[in-house]
Structure 1
Amino acid sequence: MIIIYWTIFLFYANFGCALNKDVIQPDPVIVTHLGQIVSLTCFCRSHLIRVSWYKQTVGQKPLLMASSYYGTENSFYFNNFNKDFTETKRLSVKRGFDSCNLTISKTESGDSATYYCVAMVVSEVTFGEGTVLIVKDSGSNSMSVLQQPVSESVQPGDSVTLNCTINTETCAGEHSVYWFRHGSGDSHPGIIYTHGDRRDQCEKSPEAGSHTQSCVYNLPKRNLGLSDAGTYYCAVASCGEILFGNGTKLDIEDGCKEDQVLLVYCLGVALGLCVIFIIVLCPVNVYL
């Protein structure tokens, strides 16, 4: 019986934390087109006092959009998002038993941003991992963002350089480039680097009379740790338009993980053998 209790304890000690998330945003990236309807999903525990949605555009601080309170069906809208709800009817938040979803109708280019689902219990605030919404204009071909994916995993302590290539036909040299990371677990997506100058290598297209420029931006990462794992996105703001690359996924292997699991099970087996030896060696009194 003691061995069974010990096994149960080890199981919950290793996997219990994964079941204790108050906020889950299942879609890290959503791509849509102008004028479409999009719904951002957020799963949350039913007892949460307050669940809110925040919007963070590239280079700006997060803005509170709307909040929903436990036990009420109505949602409250803040800042300029109240106008989107009351006048244009573009914005709506629906609170379910275990969800709080944000719906945007007739999407605009300004809707491209990162959206966070945030929960509050008493004085504790929990952020979801965020959902990046990319609104594409099918008629715009003046700029493209290319990222080369990293296919192989790296070890802790290694170095890697992430690349982002931008091809522009108009507004050459007037764009701003941002890097941000979408991690896992407790990591929240956010801007990690901004290119504030034009000293990066930009070359014109070899075609005669072409106004196309190709600019390459590098993001070096040295002495990598487990917290650096995630998907890195290159975002470009130009001519009132924001474009995102497809992302570069960076996996960092934890070389000690298997050894730690083996150690836990060895300790469990050792404890079980100790219990058996104690039972065998101790005298047993039998009463008839």
Structure 2
Amino acid sequence: MPVLIYILLLINIGRCTDDHIFETKTVDVGDDVTLTCPRESTWLAANLYWIRLVPGTFPEALGGMIAYNFDRVKKTNHMTAKQEPGLFVLHFSKTRLSDTAVYYCIKVKQRNMTFLKGIFLRIKGPEPDITAVTQDFLSDPVRPGDSVTLQCSVLSDSEKKTCLEDHHVYWFRARSDKSNPSLIYAHRNHSDTCEEGPEVHSPQKCVYSFSKNVSSSDAGTYYCAVATCGEIIFGNGTKLDIEVVSTCDSQKDISVVFLLFAVLAISLIVIAFLVYVITKNSCDCCKGKKMYSYINVLNCFPKSYHHLFHIYV
């Protein structure tokens, strides 16, 4: 790779040798395929390269050799670059889905680069048997601490299934702040969640459930995603709105508690004041007097409290 980038920085890009050097080739995954490029044995001091371009990555050199007759073979994983009569070929053994890319055959001579041929190779995988992925909507309001169950239904037609890969179900959450969706749950075993349709040749239905106790930070849109056969299919999404508990009720409760404490404090102060006044009056009344009987004691208290005493002479 560093050698290829160094070469691309040093050489001059020349013109194409033909106006129709770019083609598209589509094959099924697992097939053997050979990409060909014209070669002249009279191209002395010239080198030929097969490079691959995948969007978002640097060019990758798959094989290179001198242009004139040379029996060298360059192997990279399941790809082989070699010479054939009048051709420079890149052979794939059992293509993979990851082989989908743009392939260029280039000639480099004296710091000049010429594109000989370009091929877009598309690897077509088996078609998934999924016909629909649906999610249920939440009808009841949700509050922090409530238990919420999200459901995802996957309909599949087994008669159209050309891929033996199982379904892998994942749950993603997308927030309203436009942040990247995050994976929150993955189903491991789903063999007991599927049932056949009531009619002959009707789709199979698998129901996947995801439950959790929600908090105020769990708000967002939850998506059920089914990955199978090199593809991923998303459901329509379930929006989870967390109902914010109003602070008015809690503030009212706090106000009532404070009011009760205030009333209680005032009542205690009044009672303490009354006890003090009664005690003071009683002591002033009784000073200098000899209490030989209950009558004298009674006279030491204000008249308003006489009915509280029952004196039997």
Q: Normalization by structure 2: what TM-score?
A: 0.36
State the structure with more CA Rg: 2
Q: Whose RCO is larger (CA < 8 A, sep 6+)?
A: 1
Q: Normalization by structure 1: what TM-score?
A: 0.39
